Amino acid sequence: MTNVDGIVLVMAESKRSGQPKCLAEWRGRPLIAHVVETAVASRLRRVIVVLGPQADRVRAALQPIRAHSKVKLVYNSEYDEGRASFIRRGVSALPEDAGAAMFLSGDQPLVNAHLIDALIEAFERHRALICYPVFGVIRGNPSIFAASLFPELRKLSGDAGSATLIEKYKSRVHEHRL
């Protein structure tokens, strides 16, 4: 079994509300609370939450969960640099023995523990470098990246996400069809 750690990216502020999207209420609680609880309930070994704008408010929203032994909060002081800075910060916070990282968005509460576990199983079974779900013809989230790609993830800049690595290693990508 691979040591897969989760990295929850808490990035964007909503232009309409002026707060991180993850703080929007859904079923009576902030989206981020649902996402982190789901990640904790899955096979993920550890859940690293990468905070950016309004980190104190996000910490407060996670108060009941953040004491869980699987959860670690880290602050991205370079959040103005874009999406890649959150990815770099999350990868830098991983333990040395991490075999892979699953990237989750802090504002997608419909990702459930069953999907997370199914992706980990598919990643292991297919010995992929990258694994993500596909809904019909649409690539979805979350996605898993093997530890061998961590050095390249640490070099991303600006608003670059994982698309460049997915294209570069397309022969080693597993698309988990749902």
Q: Give the angle subtended at the CA of 101 by the CAs of 122 and 153, to the nearest 5°.
A: 120
Give per-residue pLDDT as tens, 40-88.
Answer: 999 999 999 999 988 999 999 999 887 789 999 999 999 999 899 999 9
Burial letters for 116-152: b for 16+ Cβ neighbours within 10 Å, e otherwise? bebbbebbbeeebbbbbbeeeeeebbbbbbbbebbee
The structural domains of the chain, ordered by start, are 4-171 (3.90.550.10)
Side chain identity at residue 124, one-letter code = E
Question: Are 56 and 10 spatial neighbours (Cβ–Cβ below 8 Å)?
Answer: no
Q: Which of 6-20, 43-57, 95-109, 133-147 has the lowest mean pLDDT?
A: 6-20
Give per-residue pLDDT as tens, 87-130.
Answer: 999 999 999 999 999 999 999 999 999 999 999 999 999 999 99
Side chain identity at residue 159, one-letter code = D
Please give the residue that has the higher pLDDT: either 14 or 58: 58
pLDDT score, position 173: 96
Residues in the chain: 178
